[in-house]
Amino acid sequence: MDFVEGRVFSDCRLPDLSPPERRAVYLSMVRTLARMHRIRPDEIGLADFGRPGDYFARQIHRWTRQLKA
């Protein structure tokens, strides 16, 4: 990771921005997330990061176990 100059928004409603500015921020966020989701972990050296597959099943199992506890 690198430090990148920019603004930090602590309120996701972005109340200090005009509607067009908020729209631009939200669209930029969506585009960035879409670009990140196109990255294949195995192509960037992260093939062994985390357990592959069944993410949702593992999460639901964990949450159910926590709820019962």
**45 lies in some domain:** yes
pLDDT along the chain (69 residues), means of 10: 91 96 96 95 89 90 96
1 located within any domain: no
Q: What residue type is 66 in one-letter code?
A: Q
Range of the domain at 34: 19-68
Does residue 7 lie in a domain region? no
- φ/ψ region of 51 (left if φ > 0, alpha if ψ in -120 to 50, else beta) reads beta
Task: Examine residue 8 and state whether it is found in any structural domain, yes or no.
Answer: no
Composition of the chain by helix, strand, coil, percent to 5: 55, 0, 45
In a domain, 3, yes or no: no
Domain count within the chain: 1
Q: Is residue 12 part of a domain?
A: no
Please tell me what DSSP assigns to residue 40. -
Q: Is residue 9 part of a domain?
A: no
Residue 12 and residue 22 in contact, taking contact as beta carbons nearer than 8 Å: no
d(CA 64, CA 46): 29
